[in-house]
A = this chain, B = another copy of it.
């Protein structure tokens, strides 16, 4: 017999778990302490039971009833199969999925709270888009355009140059033209050319949809001066969208954004869920300040149809598991990691006769010169490949002089975010989740790579790599061949 006193304590625990959900719904806050998996999983199961496909007596005779063939798939989505949103409003309640709808809303609330904690004061309308950053930026630009009375005539975006293809594609996909404003070199750093923006605003006139600034980027480009641009946009009645891709993880950037929307004009800020909140790729958060919420709201309601619940579900699970305590700890650790990486890389630079570029305006990424490449006559990108094949991912080698055409626009010095940046360098980032141990392993590999790079330049070695592939088992070669070949047939 289960004794009444133990049973009563067990039932009290159920009750406390029920209260997690009630507290979340009524406070719209992250839990103070991260919850154990058992509590998080229970919460997800509880919500899924409220979706009609999980009603015990449901008979579905519509064209979409949330039926899922595979048990593996059902279990991986916690039986929430109806997605989120409804005909033309991604934040609208999904009638067949009350639980999924509530879950998506709680994910929005938690994301907003996490951003507030990270330093975004006076944050207004905030929600999770079931799209990665680039596509979300496209949606924001389309909503921004539609917000103007003369939407049809508005087809230009002024964009502070940042050499990532996605940013360019985000605009061209929306059918917009880009006017590129190049940053100016200040010491080692590339900073926003506010005057040039002002000139272009005047020049483009009534065709202008908005200015797009970026906060998080590869050094030596700095975070854009979003405060100055916001003031400029306020003054000139110009739209202003901030691409804050992975900036939530930096309190400095969050503060700048808050200041921008408090004393100037910001229509919408877009950030990735994966880089800022450590979830799989696939979502973005759109937010804005309390002073101006119409464009952010329009993005939500312009979305055609339903969407995958995955981005919201990943974020929901993560926010509950993380809690405010782990979130704050992660933010602290990242700042510590930045300082540690900077000082450790400076040591390597000194040893190798290189130097760290001085980029105080970029709180996440840093860059070291790679001047040895020129001296020894080796292609700088070889240095990057060598790091990659030694299992270091994420560095980026940039040499002057590359020209590339993206979305119809030709960029001189592509990669550097500037047409004539003088240095050859490589970058590394102290991003959320990186540890001191990671940095130690990185610098170890880096030292070895410098050595091999300098040596390799003196000896022809292509032969050795061919040999390597010849040595492989046939089965391995078959697999590689199969992988390389997949899409020929489709």
Question: Which of A2-10, A197-205, A454-462 lies on the face that meets chain B?
Answer: A2-10
Cβ-based interface call for A126 (8 A): yes
Cβ-based interface call for A475 (8 A): yes
Q: How far is the CA of A330 from the CA of B151 in the complex (A)?
A: 47
What residues of B have a CB within 8 angstroms of the CB of A282 in the complex? 83, 130, 307-310
Cβ-based interface call for A118 (8 A): no
Say whether A63 contacts B275, CB under 8 Å: yes
User: Interface code A166-197, partner B: CB below 8 Å = 1, 0 otherwise?
Assistant: 10111011110000000000000000000000
Question: Which of A227-235, A412-420, A478-486 lies on the face that meets chain B?
Answer: A478-486
What residues of B have a CB within 8 angstroms of the CB of A69 in the complex? 277-279, 318, 321-322, 326, 330, 433
Q: How far is the CA of A65 from the CA of B246 in the complex (A)?
A: 12
Which residue of chain B is the closest to A96 with respect to CB atoms?
A: B393
Contact of A169 among B87, B307, B439 (CB under 8 A): B87
Say whether A14 contacts B49, CB under 8 Å: yes
User: Interface code A93-120, partner B: CB below 8 Å = 1, 0 otherwise?
Assistant: 1011011011001101100100000000
Cβ-based interface call for A346 (8 A): no
What residues of B have a CB within 8 angstroms of the CB of A304 in the complex? 134-135, 137-138, 166, 169-170, 173
Q: How far is the CB of A131 from chain B (nearest CB, A)?
A: 7
Say whether A132 contacts B307, CB under 8 Å: yes
Cβ-based interface call for A36 (8 A): yes
Cβ-based interface call for A424 (8 A): no
User: Interface code A14-44, partner B: CB below 8 Å = 1, 0 otherwise?
Assistant: 1111101110011110000001111111100
Instruction: From A57, A78, A274, A341, name the one whose CB has the most chain B CB atoms within 10 angstroms.
Output: A274
Say whether A280 contacts B77, CB under 8 Å: yes
Which residue of chain B is the closest to A310 with respect to CB atoms?
A: B310
Say whether B109 contacts A490, CB under 8 Å: yes
Which residue of chain B is the closest to A43 with respect to CB atoms?
A: B45
Report A361-397 residues with CB < 8 Å from chain B CB.
364-365, 388-389, 391-396
User: Interface code A60-74, partner B: CB below 8 Å = 1, 0 otherwise?
Assistant: 111111111111111
Q: How far is the CB of A433 from chain B (nearest CB, A)?
A: 4
Say whether B39 contacts A314, CB under 8 Å: no
Cβ-based interface call for A237 (8 A): no
Which residue of chain B is the closest to A80 with respect to CB atoms?
A: B280
Cβ-based interface call for A311 (8 A): yes
Say whether B50 contacts A13, CB under 8 Å: yes
Interface residues on A, range: 35 or more
Instruction: From A9, A28, A389, A433, name the one whose CB has the most chain B CB atoms within 10 angstroms.
Output: A9
Asked whether A72 and B142 contact (CB < 8 A) given A82-B281, A482-B22, A484-B7, the answer is: no
Say whether B486 contacts A25, CB under 8 Å: yes
Q: How far is the CB of A379 from chain B (nearest CB, A)?
A: 16
Q: How far is the CA of A112 from the CA of B67 in the complex (A)?
A: 21
What residues of B have a CB within 8 angstroms of the CB of A27 in the complex? 489
Say whether A364 contacts B63, CB under 8 Å: yes
Which residue of chain B is the closest to A54 with respect to CB atoms?
A: B38
Cβ-based interface call for A58 (8 A): yes
Asked whether A61 and B480 contact (CB < 8 A) given A6-B98, A307-B282, the answer is: no
Asked whether A75 and B395 contact (CB < 8 A) given A102-B2, A132-B83, A278-B69, the answer is: no
Which residue of chain B is the closest to A483 with respect to CB atoms?
A: B7
Which residue of chain B is the closest to A146 with respect to CB atoms?
A: B175
Cβ-based interface call for A256 (8 A): no
Cβ-based interface call for A306 (8 A): yes
Say whether B3 contacts A93, CB under 8 Å: yes
Cβ-based interface call for A121 (8 A): no
Cβ-based interface call for A56 (8 A): yes
Cβ-based interface call for A155 (8 A): yes
What residues of B have a CB within 8 angstroms of the CB of A438 in the complex? 59-61
Q: How far is the CA of A245 from the CA of B396 in the complex (A)?
A: 42
Asked whether A311 and B314 contact (CB < 8 A) given A393-B62, A469-B8, A483-B10, the answer is: no
Q: How far is the CA of A91 from the CA of B310 in the complex (A)?
A: 20
A sample of 12 more A-B contacts (CB under 8 A), given A11-B476, A281-B306, is: A2-B102, A14-B479, A16-B57, A35-B56, A37-B72, A61-B392, A63-B429, A69-B279, A70-B321, A83-B282, A87-B165, A473-B474
23 A-B Cβ contacts within 8 A? A4-B484, A10-B49, A22-B479, A25-B482, A28-B489, A28-B490, A37-B71, A38-B45, A39-B54, A60-B394, A61-B395, A64-B274, A64-B431, A67-B278, A69-B278, A73-B280, A83-B274, A83-B281, A105-B486, A126-B490, A175-B175, A282-B309, A310-B310
The 7 tightest CB contacts between A and B, nearest first, are: A62-B394, A134-B305, A282-B308, A83-B281, A10-B50, A87-B165, A134-B304
